[in-house]
Structure formats: C-alpha cells, structure tokens
Chain A
Amino acid sequence: MPLNGNHMSIQSQTILILVVMCAAYALAKRRKLSVETSILAAAVGGGLAGAVMRIPPLADLPRHLIEGGFTYFDVILVFTTATIFMAVVSASGGVNYVVRGTIRLFFNLRLIALLVLMIIILIPGALTGAGSVSLLVVGAPTALALGYLGIPKKRVAAILFLVAGLSAAAPPVNIWAMIVSAGTAIPYVGFELPLGIPVLLLSTFSVLFLGWKRTEKKALAEVLEEMPEPPPGMSGWRVALPFVVFFGLVMMYRIWPFATPILGLAMQFVIAAVAAWLVSPVRINILILSRDTVKRLLPLLTTMVVVGMLQQIMTATGVRGLISFLVISIPVVILFISLAVIIPVSEGLLTYGGAAIIGIPLIWFLDSIGLHATVVIAGLSLLWPLGDGLPPTALIGRLSVLVTEYTGSYWSFLRTTWIPWLVITIVGILMVVFSAKLDFLVRWSM
C-alpha cells in the first residue's frame, strides 16, 4: 500500500489513541481517583486502544508498562536518598540551628538576607542540574528562614519553586541543555554566560519581587523567641559536616575526575546521611525515619513511575510522535509565541523527556533557519523549569509546597508566581528569537 494511502490511517489511529488516553484520564478523575492512578489509567487505556491495531501487540503491553515504569528510576533513587538525608539533618536539630543563625545575622539586612538565601538555593541545583536536589537539601531551612523574614508561606513556596527551577538551568550542569546538546551533536561548551547571566538576574528579580514586602513586622527578639531551640550539643560543625561530606564528594569528582570512583548522587546522599546520623546530638532511629520519609514521598515517586509508563505507551503508539510532529509543523512566528506553552507543558508531562522529544527536533529546525543553537538551548532552558510546576508531574512545584508546609491549594501557590513566570518566559523567548545577536555570550564563555 502506498505511504499516502496509509497516512490518514496512521494519523487517525494516533489521534484515536490520544482521545482514548484523554478519556481514560478524565474518567478516572471523575471517579475521584488520584492523579497517579488517573495517569496509569491513561497509559493502560492508550495501550489497549493501540493493541486493537497491534501498536503495540497486546502481548507486549505488560512489557511496555514495566519498561516505561523504569524511565525515571535514577531520579527516583536520588529523590529518595536526598530526602532521607535532609530528614536526618532535620531530626538532628540542624535545620533549626541554621535557620536561627541566619535570622540572627541577617534579620535587619533584608536585601542581603534574601540574596544569601537565593544563592544557597541556587548552588546545589547548579552543581547537580536538579532543582529537586536544591529543595531536598536546603529547601526546608531556607523556607523557614524566609518565613521568619515575614514572608507568607505561599510566597515562600513560590520563591523556592522559581529559584530552585532556575538553579537547575544554571551552569555548570544543565541537564536539559546536556540532553539536547547530546542529541544534536552540539558541544556542551559556551553555556556559562548565556545561562549564568539570565539565571542570576531572573532569580534576583523573583526573590525581590516575591520576598521584599514584609507582611508581618516583628522584632528580632520576638522572632527568636518563637523559633524552636536546637537540641543541646548542636553546633556549627555538626550541621556543616554532612554538607561538607556531600559537596566534598561532588567536588572531588569535579577536581579529580580520573582518580575518584563514580559514586552517583544517590550514594553520595546516603554517605552524607550516615555522616549526619553519626554526628547528630540526638538519637535517631534511621530505619523508622527512612520508612516515614519514603511514605511521605510515595505520591511523588509514583508519579515518576506512571509518567514513565505513559511516555512509553505514547511513543509505542505514535502519540508522542504526533505531538512532536504538530510542534515542528507550526509556522515560525507562531512557534516562537507558542514556546511559552509548549516547553513548560512538555516538561510538566514528560519532565526531562520533553527536552528529547520537543527540544531536539526544535533545535535542528531553528538551527537550520539561522538561529544560534547554543543560545537557543539556553533560552529554552529558562522555560523548561517552569513546567516543573505544571501537572501531571509538577515535581518542583509539589516539592516546594512540601518543604514549605504550605497547606493552601496548589493552584493558589502557582498563581502567586505569575509575574516572575511571565518575565522568565519573555526573557527565554527573546533569547531564542535574538539568539544570533547574542552569540557574543557564547564566545565570551569560551
């Protein structure tokens, strides 16, 4: 049969499968099932619809679901171990100690306090390429410190979400840029200034815009009175040591990469957690603490598993290809405007998978019309973290709410971010459109 003859049928098949996926998701939500179960329903529904047309055959469906469930296995391990590490630090009284110290030093120097806290959030994400690591490692203490500076929890969560997201885009490690660079054969070099300058400016804007206004005015003594006392015996070195161990292990590989064994982030967090446990002035039952932490993380981990399944089924059935095709087919001017939606939504749906599915063909196309690929990747890298606040995954958004202990609705938190969100979007798109004129940033980085 000629290809044109098949064309309508394949297109119709994939559209039909997409409709079934959406219907299965909607039906599950209507029956008040959780987000995770609804995503699973969409994956299974899409798979069964595809199986009718043997894309994939029914016998292969369990394998696709199992295999897809492992797509983000590494991320799951890092999340789990990093959260256990911070739980140990917190249980030892370290978090209270740090927050108390920060407030005592900078309470009356608001600008410096905000900028110092911003840098503290930026560093772990910039080093590891994961905003989640920023939140898991320093999210809880910085959230408390921001709270004691008189910023309401909703705004604190918004600050954490935006800055942690931008930290993942910051150099030296930007996983979106690395995935796209690897897929497009563009060297991962020259990104320092195109990424570093906008990340610093946008983080500063976000922190000051959301955090400058003090809603509660209290005296330092009053605030210190309210804060929980750290346990007796807690000291600066006891708090610092586990972090020194973690960052020491990260930096050791950077400084002596060919003499240092590769441990991986998960093991580095485990070692740091053991260090925190050993130097804790209070007795911690690490097994019970780990069990409770994993229980708390379970919805987030489940989301990662089922999103991987959905991604696999979408690819096997051609739905992912259809979406990628529609994006690439948009006329250039409309494409530039739609980046504001396409990039964050792809991240919200597929996390890093979005960079591969949308980012790689997009870069090939934009490069072919004369844009500067490195600056374009840097511009898109500012938009991807925004998607980490969007469902179904909403990884950074949910973690921000979790570490801040904000109990209001998720959407009310997300609405708080809208002005910095808009500014970040405009900067990202302008970098893409004027990438050829900004190529000096790449030259100066090299």
Chain B
Amino acid sequence: MAAIIGLLTVWGGLQLHRHRMYKMPIVAGPGVTRVVRLSDYSPGLKKTPGDTNVFFLEGKEKGGTVLVIGNTHSNEPASLLTSLILIENMTVEKGTVIVIPQFNYSGGRNTRPGDGYPLYFHIPTSWGEKKFRMGNRDASPLDQWPDPDVYIHYPDRQLLSFLDVRNTNRTWPGRPNGPLMERVTYGAMQIMRTEGVDLAVDIHGAETMFPVTNCIVAPEKSIRLATMVSLTVKAKEGFDSHVEPSPSGFRGLSHREIGDHSDTLPFLLEAPIPFLDQPTGPKTEKLLLDGKDPFLLKLAAKQKLFVPYDEEGWPMSKRVGQHCSVLLELMRQYSRKNPDRAIQVTNVPAYAEVIQNGVGFYYHDPTEADKRNVHYN
C-alpha cells in the first residue's frame, strides 16, 4: 500500500515539476527590434524567478510609446495570447510598442491548489498544436515566501489580503527592494518613466458574474480616451466593451497606481473568461478555450450574469479579438489627438479577423524559425 501511495505521489509530483520547468517558445516577428530583461529596469530582479522578457518593437519614425502587459494574472490566458500575436506579427511604422507577455513570470509557473485547473492548454495552428502552461493568479510561493499575515500596500498602507503580496495587480507601483512582486511592478514603472511611455495597457480576463467584465477600466485621466475607444469599437466592430471608472480608494491596481505615479495613461482591458466563474461544470481545457458552460447558460437566463451569454459561450478567439481591436483603437485614437506622439502599427488582426482565422493562425513554428529569433519564457 505504502509503495503504491509513494508511486502515485512521485507520478503526481513529476507532473507538477514538469509544468514548472516547461519553457514556452516565442518567435520574435519582423517588428521586434530588441529583447531585454525586466531586471534591466529593476536590478533587484536579476537572477530571480520574477525576471522576464521585454520585447521592443520600434518604428523607423519617432513617435509615442505603448506598453502592453500580458499575464499579470497567468490564469487569464487571453492576455498572453494577445501579447504573442503582437510579438510574432506586428510591425511598427511610427513610435514604439513594448510588450511584456508574461509579466508575472512566477505566476505562470504556479498552479492553483484546490481549484483543479488543467496544467496546460493547446492552441491549434497550421503546423500543429502550440502548448501553453496554465498558470495562477498569484506568484508561486516557491519564488516568494512567506506571505505576511496581512499585506500592507506600498505606499498607501491600505490593508489587503495576505495573498495579494503575490498578486501583480495589487503590488503597483512597487519598490526596488520590496517583496519580489513589488520589484516586478517597479520594473514596469521604471520602463514607463525612462522610456516615456504614453499608454500602458494591462490585459486581463474576468468572470461573467463579475460586474467589472467586458470593459476598459480607466482612471480619471484616461477615461475620455477609453470612452472614445469603447464607442468606436461598438460602432465599427459590433462588440461591447464598456468603460468602468478606476476606484480611487482601492490601491495597488495598475489602472490606479500607474496613473497616480507617472505621466502614462493606464488602461486595463477585461474580457469575459467563463472558466474562472465559480458556478461552472468541470474545469477542463475545453471550458477554458470555448467558454461554454451549461450552468452559466442557466444563470444567464435568470439574468445573473453581467455579459450576454448564449450557446456559443465566449470562445478564446472572441476574447483575443476584442483585446486586439481595443488595443488598436486606443493607439489610433491617441495618435489622432497627439500627432507628434503618434503610434502607427500594421499586421495586427482586428476582432473579426481573429474570430475568422482563429488565434493559432498568428503563431509561427519555432522549429522552422531562425533560432536567434526564438525566445523561451
């Protein structure tokens, strides 16, 4: 009996170990001009599991700068998939686009005990399936531990849940020598300060039962631009992404602290992710990708969801497509108002194209690519 239990423990443990060690290839596209590390901006991250790749896509012409942040929460994978579409395809004509595809690098190597997530998900492409790690909302305790009994936000001293010390959407604006995740957000703040970032876009996913979903969250200084974008995508592309104001009393969030601690205009994009809702069926890879759930369908009929929900669910392509279109529109609207700081990009698919082609259409085969352009995260 003991031998069987021992064998099963090793079996299960090995699966978790392999998940943590799995390296995902990213093929840098023609638009990528350089790849640096976040620790170049936050030296406290050097040789730590908080360090991560930062992709620069610089245009020939000078202009404005956008920072795109993916995987702040590594269990909201549409953000990573959107970031990868940019890195592997986008070319920048004017200005600079900076992409951090796996912002909470440690969270991407973490699992969520008690929540029964699959360890990986797979996106079909023309050259086979691209395999991704399914991560967690918070950094791994293997990388940042112990947690305090309560997390005291820097610098406002607001009391937050102890778990939030490992949540990179509660540790903004961060400190150079704070806990690891504060050093991560500090690195991003330094990018914004030193590179003169005009717009920062933090991409997320939220439950269908969460009021703040399918929206653009923006503080006072960004809300006008967010409203323009929301109205435009609704009129031009036919999907809803309403505007939610960033609450001033809730500290540590990117959409609040970036605006309060820099000249950058912050935006947080939310697209529905039914997988994260509590009242769903089994937590399978299929639910993660197609967003179809019978319990949510019933709750939608009782008007208990905050987004329209039908038998089509919320497929990944729809979520990624929304993020791509909102991002493109943000750059377009900002460039129109600030021609001297314009950002012009090409080869980024919009909502309808992503839905038509599927997300995997935009990923390149790392085995066929020039090795110098393949980066592992």
Query: CB within 8 Å of B: which residues of A?
Result: 2-4, 6-7, 10-11, 13-14, 50, 55-56, 60, 62-71, 73-74, 127-129, 172-173, 175, 178-179, 181-182, 184-189, 250, 253-254, 257-258, 262-267, 308, 311-318, 320-322, 324-325, 327-329, 353, 356-358, 360-361, 364-365, 367-368
Shortest Cβ distance from A9 into chain B, in angstroms? Answer: 9
Within 8 A of A (CB), among B136-178: 141, 145-150, 152, 154-155, 157-165, 167, 170, 175, 178
Q: Is B116 within 8 A of A360, CB to CB? A: no
Shortest Cβ distance from B352 into chain A, in angstroms? Answer: 23
Do A316 and B299 contact each other (CB < 8 Å), given the known contacts A65-B12, A67-B113, A182-B163?
no
Do A62 and B147 contact each other (CB < 8 Å), given the known contacts A7-B294, A361-B277?
no
Q: Report the bound CA distance from A254 to B157 in whole Å.
A: 9
Question: B157 contacts which chain A residues (CB < 8 A)?
Answer: 257
Which 3 pairs across A and B sit closest by C-beta, in order of nearness? A264-B146, A316-B116, A62-B12
Q: Report the bound CA distance from A74 to B144 in whole Å.
A: 13
Do A178 and B161 contact each other (CB < 8 Å), given the known contacts A62-B8, A321-B278, A325-B299?
yes
Nearest B-chain residue to A60, judged by Cβ: B15
Query: Which of B9, B161, B279, B281 is within 8 Å of A62, CB to CB?
Result: B9
Q: Is A264 within 8 A of B147, CB to CB? A: yes
Question: B178 contacts which chain A residues (CB < 8 A)?
Answer: 258
Q: Report the bound CA distance from A258 to B13 in whole Å.
A: 36
Shortest Cβ distance from B159 into chain A, in angstroms? Answer: 6
Q: Is A364 within 8 A of B210, CB to CB? A: yes
Query: Which of B149, B152, B164, B283 is within 8 Å of A250, CB to CB?
Result: B149
The contact string, 1 if C-beta is below 8 Å from chain A, for chain B 315-341, is: 000000000000000000000000000
Q: Is A258 within 8 A of B159, CB to CB? A: no
Within 8 A of A (CB), among B39-57: none
Q: Report the bound CA distance from A67 to B8 in whole Å.
A: 12
Q: Is B209 within 8 A of A325, CB to CB? A: no
Q: Is B278 within 8 A of A181, CB to CB? A: no
Question: B292 contacts which chain A residues (CB < 8 A)?
Answer: 3, 6
Do A189 and B160 contact each other (CB < 8 Å), given the known contacts A3-B292, A364-B211, A365-B209?
no
The contact string, 1 if C-beta is below 8 Å from chain A, for chain B 1-37, is: 0000000110111011000000000000000000000
Question: B211 contacts which chain A residues (CB < 8 A)?
Answer: 364, 367-368
Query: Which of A71, A178, A181, A318 is within 8 Å of B162, CB to CB?
Result: A178
Q: Report the bound CA distance from A308 to B11 in whole Å.
A: 19
Q: Report the bound CA distance from A265 to B8 in whole Å.
A: 32
Q: Report the bound CA distance from A353 to B118 in whole Å.
A: 19
Specify the main secondary structure of chain A where it touches its partner. helix
Q: Is B282 within 8 A of A318, CB to CB? A: yes
Q: Report the bound CA distance from A59 to B277 in whole Å.
A: 26
Nearest B-chain residue to A260, judged by Cβ: B148
Question: A11 contacts which chain B residues (CB < 8 A)?
Answer: 281, 294-295
Q: Report the bound CA distance from A322 to B298 in whole Å.
A: 12
Shortest Cβ distance from B310 into chain A, in angstroms? Answer: 8
Q: Report the bound CA distance from A273 to B178 in whole Å.
A: 28
Q: Report the bound CA distance from A187 to B158 in whole Å.
A: 9
Shortest Cβ distance from A292 into chain B, in angstroms? Answer: 24
Nearest A-chain residue to B146, judged by Cβ: A264
Q: Report the bound CA distance from A414 to B152 in whole Å.
A: 37
Question: A185 contacts which chain B residues (CB < 8 A)?
Answer: 210, 212, 247, 250
Specify the main secondary structure of chain B where it touches its partner. loop
Do A128 and B149 contact each other (CB < 8 Å), given the known contacts A3-B294, A316-B283?
yes
Q: Is A365 within 8 A of B304, CB to CB? A: yes
Residue B128 lies at the interface, judged by CB distance under 8 Å to chain A: no
Q: Report the bound CA distance from A4 to B300 in whole Å.
A: 13
Q: Report the bound CA distance from A324 to B304 in whole Å.
A: 13
Q: Is B9 within 8 A of A173, CB to CB? A: no
Question: B210 contacts which chain A residues (CB < 8 A)?
Answer: 184-185, 364
Interface centre among B13, B155, B278, B299 (most CB of A within 10 A): B278
Question: B297 contacts which chain A residues (CB < 8 A)?
Answer: 3-4, 7
| Interface size, chain B (Cβ < 8 Å) | 66
Q: Is B278 within 8 A of A66, CB to CB? A: no
Q: Report the bound CA distance from A196 to B246 in whole Å.
A: 28
Q: Is A321 within 8 A of B311, CB to CB? A: no
Q: Is A321 within 8 A of B159, CB to CB? A: no
Shortest Cβ distance from B91 into chain A, in angstroms? Answer: 36
Nearest A-chain residue to B112, judged by Cβ: A67
Q: List 25 A-B contacts (CB under 8 A).
A: A3-B292, A10-B281, A10-B295, A11-B294, A11-B295, A13-B282, A60-B118, A60-B119, A67-B12, A73-B113, A74-B141, A74-B147, A173-B150, A173-B159, A178-B161, A189-B158, A189-B249, A262-B179, A264-B146, A266-B146, A312-B115, A321-B283, A325-B280, A364-B210, A368-B304
Question: A324 contacts which chain B residues (CB < 8 A)?
Answer: 278-279
Q: Report the bound CA distance from A179 to B147 in whole Å.
A: 14
Question: B13 contacts which chain A residues (CB < 8 A)?
Answer: 63, 66
Q: Is B161 within 8 A of A181, CB to CB? A: yes
Q: Is B150 within 8 A of A360, CB to CB? A: no
Query: Which of A65, A181, A265 is within 8 Å of B149, CB to CB?
Result: A265
Q: Is A188 within 8 A of B209, CB to CB? A: no
Q: Is B111 within 8 A of A67, CB to CB? A: yes
Residue B236 lies at the interface, judged by CB distance under 8 Å to chain A: no
Do A188 and B313 contact each other (CB < 8 Å), given the known contacts A262-B148, A313-B116?
no
Do A63 and B147 contact each other (CB < 8 Å), given the known contacts A188-B160, A315-B114?
no
Q: Is A172 within 8 A of B150, CB to CB? A: yes
Q: Is B114 within 8 A of A63, CB to CB? A: no
Q: Report the bound CA distance from A13 to B293 in whole Å.
A: 13
Q: Is B12 within 8 A of A262, CB to CB? A: no
Nearest A-chain residue to B152, judged by Cβ: A257
Question: B119 contacts which chain A residues (CB < 8 A)?
Answer: 60, 63
Q: Report the bound CA distance from A64 to B114 in whole Å.
A: 8
Query: Which of A184, A266, A308, A368 is within 8 Å of B114, CB to CB?
Result: A308
Residue B371 lies at the interface, judged by CB distance under 8 Å to chain A: no
A68-B113, A315-B114, A353-B114 given; name 13 further pairs at CB < 8 Å: A56-B282, A60-B118, A68-B114, A70-B113, A74-B147, A175-B162, A182-B161, A185-B210, A185-B250, A189-B158, A267-B146, A321-B283, A357-B278
Do A328 and B304 contact each other (CB < 8 Å), given the known contacts A128-B149, A262-B148?
yes
Shortest Cβ distance from A348 into chain B, in angstroms? Answer: 16
Q: Is B311 within 8 A of A329, CB to CB? A: no
Shortest Cβ distance from B72 into chain A, in angstroms? Answer: 14
Shortest Cβ distance from B247 into chain A, in angstroms? Answer: 7
Shortest Cβ distance from B20 into chain A, in angstroms? Answer: 12
